[in-house]
C-alpha cells in the first residue's frame, strides 16, 4: 500500500479512530501492532515471514545477550572476594567474547538474509564475469529473488537494537509483541527513518491521548509530504524515466538537465515520503526523528550527509564508523605514524590524527553505496562520496592555508554560497551514478558533460521527455516554493520552531487558506489516476 494512495489515507483514518477510541489506554499500542500486521500482510503474506524471522531472532538474541551479561555480573558479584583482579578481568573478557559471538549470530543471520536477497545476483554476476575473463568454466546461477517490504529499514533498526543491548546502552525488551511493534511500525516501514530503540520504543508503548494540535500538525506535515511526493517528485520522474529508458541517445545538456531534475525529484520523493511517515506517527503522539534538514544548503559534503537521510547517517556512525575508527588496527596504525619520522612533521602529525576517521569514512560510504543498490555504479557512488570526505579531512590544513592566504572571510555570505554551490556540484556528480543505468554510462555522462553541451539540441530533447512546457513551469514554481520554505525553516530552526508552529500564530483564515490551497494543489496538480490525454478523445471521423 503506497503512502500516497487513497487506501493508505483510509487505513490511517481507521487506525486513528480505533486507536483513540480504544477504552483500555494501557493497551492502545496493541491497536498499532494490529495495524502494522494488517499493513504488512496487505503487501503480501510471503514478506511477513522475513520480518517475523528478523523480529524473533533479534528479540531472542537480545534476551540471550542480556542474560549472559546478567549472569556474568551475578557471578562476578558472588566471586567478588574470591577472585583477584586478573581473574575478574579474564572472566569479563570471556563474557565479552561470548556476547560478541551471540551478537554476531544475529548480525550474520539477518544481514545474511538481506545480503543474499539484495546482492546475490550482483555477486554471482560479477563472479561469473570474472571467471569468464579467466576462461574458467564455472558459473553461479541467477535466482529470481524478491525483496520483502522495508527489509533494509527493519533489519538495520533491529540490528541497531541488538548492538545497543550488547553495548548495554539499552535493556532488552521482554515482551515479544512489543518488540514486533518496534520492528514493524507501519508509518516508517517502507522508507524509514531508521529509528533507534531508545528513542522510539517507549513512545510506541505509551498510551497517548488525542491531541488536536498534534493531529493538526501531523495532517499538515502529511499534506506537505503529498505536495512534494505526488506534485513534484512523481512529475519530475516522468522526464527522468524517459531519459533512463534510452540513456545513451541524449546529449550532454539533456543529461545535465536530467541530473538537476533528479536532485529535485530525489529530495522531493524521499523527504516527502518521510514527511508523510512523520506526520502519521505524530497523529498517534509519536515523534519520529527528522531525516532531512535542507541538505542542499550544506557547505561541505560531510555536512550534506548529516542533513540527508540523517537516520541512516546516525546508524552508520554508531554501528560502523565508530567501531572502525576506534578499532585497535587503526588506533595502532595512527600511533605508529605518530612515532615515525614522518609523524614528527606537520603533515605526518595531521595524517596520524585523522587517518582512522578518514578511512572509516571511506568504508562507511562504501557501505552506504552498496546499501543503495546492488550494482557497481552504487559502489562508485559510495567511493565518490567517501573519497571526497576522506580527501577533505586529509587536505583540510592545505585548504585552511589557501583560505588564509587569500584573506577570505569564512563568515562571508558569498563564501557560504560558494561552499554550498561547490557541495551541490559534488553531490550532483554522485547522482550521475545513481541515474545512469550502469557505471560505464555514468562515466560517459561525465565526459559528455564536458564535451557535448548543445543548448538547442538539449532543449528540443527535453521537450520530448513526456512533460509539457506548463509542467516544467510548474516544477520550477514548486522548486522556488521548496526553496522559500527551506529558507524559512533554516531561519526559524535556530529558535527551535517549525513552519507549522509559525502558521499556528496566523489568523484562522490564513491557516485554513494554506491547508485549502495545499489540498487543492494536490488534487489538481498531483500525478495520480490513469491519466488523461486529450488526443485519446479525438476521433478523426467525428
Interface ranges with other proteins (CB under 8 A): 6, 212, 468, 470-471, 508, 512, 515-516, 519-520, 523-532, 534, 536-537, 539, 541-542
Least distance from C-beta 233 to other proteins, angstroms?
Answer: 16
Least distance from C-beta 512 to other proteins, angstroms?
Answer: 5
Angle between helices 85-133 and 151-166 (to 10 degrees): 160
Angle between helices 151-166 and 197-205 (to 10 degrees): 100
Count of other CB atoms within 10 angstroms of residue 289: 17
Task: Give the phi and the psi of residue 9 in degrees, each rounded to 5.
Answer: -60, -45
Nearest to 160 by CA among 313, 362, 372, 359: 313
Least distance from C-beta 39 to other proteins, angstroms?
Answer: 21
Count of other CB atoms within 10 angstroms of residue 165: 25
Task: Give the phi and the psi of residue 528 in degrees, each rounded to 5.
Answer: -155, 170
* Comparison of 290 and 471: residue with beta carbon closer to other proteins: 471
Report the Cα 464 to chain-centroid distance in Å.
Answer: 32
Least distance from C-beta 531 to other proteins, angstroms?
Answer: 7
* Comparison of 45 and 508: residue with beta carbon closer to other proteins: 508
- Give, as one character, the DSSP assignment of residue 300: S
* Comparison of 346 and 524: residue with beta carbon closer to other proteins: 524
* Comparison of 6 and 45: residue with beta carbon closer to other proteins: 6
Residue with cell 592545505: 398
Least distance from C-beta 528 to other proteins, angstroms?
Answer: 7
Least distance from C-beta 527 to other proteins, angstroms?
Answer: 8
Report the Cα 427 to chain-centroid distance in Å.
Answer: 15
What is the grid cell recorded at 385?
562520496
Least distance from C-beta 13 to other proteins, angstroms?
Answer: 13
* Comparison of 322 and 528: residue with beta carbon closer to other proteins: 528
* Comparison of 249 and 541: residue with beta carbon closer to other proteins: 541
Nearest to 311 by CA among 291, 294, 293: 291
* Comparison of 91 and 528: residue with beta carbon closer to other proteins: 528
* Comparison of 6 and 138: residue with beta carbon closer to other proteins: 6
Least distance from C-beta 481 to other proteins, angstroms?
Answer: 17
What is the grid cell recorded at 267?
529530495
Residue with cell 583560505: 403
What is the grid cell recorded at 5?
494512495
Least distance from C-beta 258 to other proteins, angstroms?
Answer: 21
Count of other CB atoms within 10 angstroms of residue 6: 9
Nearest to 485 by CA among 218, 291, 293, 229: 293
* Comparison of 451 and 530: residue with beta carbon closer to other proteins: 530
* Comparison of 421 and 523: residue with beta carbon closer to other proteins: 523
What is the grid cell recorded at 86?
586478573
Q: Is the dihedral of CA 339, 343, 346, 352 positive or negative?
A: negative
Least distance from C-beta 189 to other proteins, angstroms?
Answer: 25
From residue 510, give the alpha-carbon distance in Å to each of 187, 480, 502. 29, 21, 11
* Comparison of 247 and 472: residue with beta carbon closer to other proteins: 472
Rounded-to-5 percentages of helix, strand, coil across the chain: 75, 0, 25
In angstroms, rounded to a whole number, what is the distance separating the alpha carbons of residues 69 and 157? 22
Least distance from C-beta 243 to other proteins, angstroms?
Answer: 21
> Where does residue 2 fall: left (phi above 0), alpha (psi -120 to 50 degrees), or beta otherwise?
beta
Burial class (CB in 10 A: 0-12, 13-18, 19+), 129: exposed
Least distance from C-beta 468 to other proteins, angstroms?
Answer: 6
* Comparison of 402 and 523: residue with beta carbon closer to other proteins: 523
Amino acid at each position: 500500500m503506497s503512502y500516497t494512495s487513497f487506501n493508505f489515507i483510509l487505513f490511517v483514518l481507521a487506525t486513528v479512530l480505533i486507536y483513540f477510541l480504544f477504552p483500555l489506554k494501557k493497551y492502545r499500542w496493541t491497536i498499532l501492532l494490529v495495524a502494522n500486521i494488517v499493513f504488512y500482510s496487505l503487501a503480501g503474506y510471503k514478506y511477513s515471514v522475513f520480518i517475523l524471522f528478523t523480529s524473533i531472532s533479534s528479540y531472542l538474541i537480545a534476551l540471550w545477550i542480556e542474560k549472559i551479561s546478567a549472569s556474568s555480573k551475578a557471578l562476578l558479584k558472588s566471586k567478588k572476594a574470591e577472585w583477584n583482579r586478573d581473574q575478574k578481568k579474564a572472566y569479563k573478557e570471556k563474557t565479552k567474547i561470548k556476547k560478541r559471538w551471540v551478537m554476531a549470530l544475529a548480525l550474520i543471520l539477518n544481514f545474511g538474509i538481506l545480503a543474499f536477497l539484495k546482492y546475490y545476483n550482483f555477486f554471482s554476476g560479477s563472479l561469473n564475469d570474472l571467471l569468464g575473463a579467466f576462461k574458467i568454466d564455472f558459473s553461479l546461477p541467477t535466482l529470481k529473488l524478491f525483496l520483502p517490504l522495508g527489509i533494509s529499514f527493519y533489519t538495520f533498526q533491529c540490528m541497531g537494537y541488538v548492538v545497543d543491548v550488547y553495548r548495554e546502552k539499552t535493556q532488552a525488551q521482554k515482551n515479544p509483541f512489543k518488540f514486533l511493534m518496534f520492528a514493524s511500525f507501519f508509518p516508517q516501514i517502507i522508507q524509514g527513518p531508521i529509528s533507534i530503540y531508545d528513542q522510539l520504543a517507549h513512545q510506541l508503548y505509551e498510551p497517548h491521548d488525542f491531541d488536536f494540535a498534534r493531529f493538526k500538525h501531523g495532517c499538515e506535515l502529511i499534506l506537505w509530504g503529498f505536495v512534494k511526493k505526488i506534485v513534484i517528485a512523481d512529475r519530475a520522474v516522468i522526464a527522468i524515466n524517459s531519459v533512463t529508458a534510452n540513456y545513451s541517445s541524449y546529449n550532454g545538456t539533456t543529461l545535465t538537465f536530467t541530473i538537476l531534475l533528479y536532485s529535485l525529484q530525489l529530495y522531493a520523493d524521499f523527504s516527502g515520503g518521510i514527511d508523510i511517515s512523520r506526520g502519521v506517527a505524530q497523529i498517534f503522539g509519536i515523534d519520529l526523528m527528522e531525516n532531512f534538514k535542507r541538505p542542499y544548503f550544506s557547505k561541505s559534503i560531510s555536512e550534506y550527509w548529516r542533513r540527508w537521510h540523517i537516520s541512516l547517517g546516525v546508524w552508520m556512525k554508531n554501528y560502523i564508523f565508530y567501531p572502525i575508527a576506534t578499532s585497535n588496527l587503526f588506533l595502532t596504525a595512527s600511533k605508529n605514524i605518530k612515532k615515525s619520522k614522518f609523524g614528527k612533521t606537520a603533515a605526518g602529525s595531521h595524517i596520524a590524527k585523522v587517518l582512522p576517521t578518514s578511512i572509516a569514512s571511506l568504508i562507511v560510504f562504501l557501505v552506504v553505496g552498496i546499501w543503495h543498490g546492488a550494482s557497481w555504479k552504487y559502489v562508485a557512488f559510495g567511493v565518490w562520496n567517501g573519497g571526497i570526505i576522506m580527501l577533505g579531512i586529509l587536505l583540510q590544513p592545505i585548504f585552511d592555508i589557501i583560505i588564509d592566504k587569500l584573506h577570505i572571510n569564512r563568515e562571508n555570505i558569498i563564501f557560504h554560497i560558494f561552499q554550498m554551490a561547490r557541495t551541490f556540484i559534488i553531490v550532483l556528480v554522485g547522482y550521475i551514478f545513481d541515474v545512469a543505468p550502469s557505471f560505464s554510462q555514468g562515466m560517459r555522462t561525465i565526459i559528455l558533460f564536458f564535451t557535448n553541451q548543445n543548448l538547442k539540441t538539449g532543449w528540443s530533447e527535453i521537450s520530448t521527455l513526456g512533460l509539457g512546457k506548463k509542467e516544467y513551469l510548474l516544477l520550477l514554481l514548486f522548486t522556488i516554493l521548496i526553496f522559500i520554505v527551506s529558507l524559512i525553516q533554516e531561519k526559524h530552526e535556530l529558535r527551535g520552531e517549525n513552519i507549522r508552529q509559525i502558521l499556528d500564530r496566523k489568523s484562522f483564515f490564513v491557516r485554513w487558506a494554506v491547508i485549502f490551497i495545499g489540498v487543492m494543489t494536490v488534487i489538481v496538480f498531483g500525478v495520480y489516476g490513469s491519466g488523461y490525454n486529450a488526443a485519446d478523445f479525438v476521433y478523426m471521423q467525428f
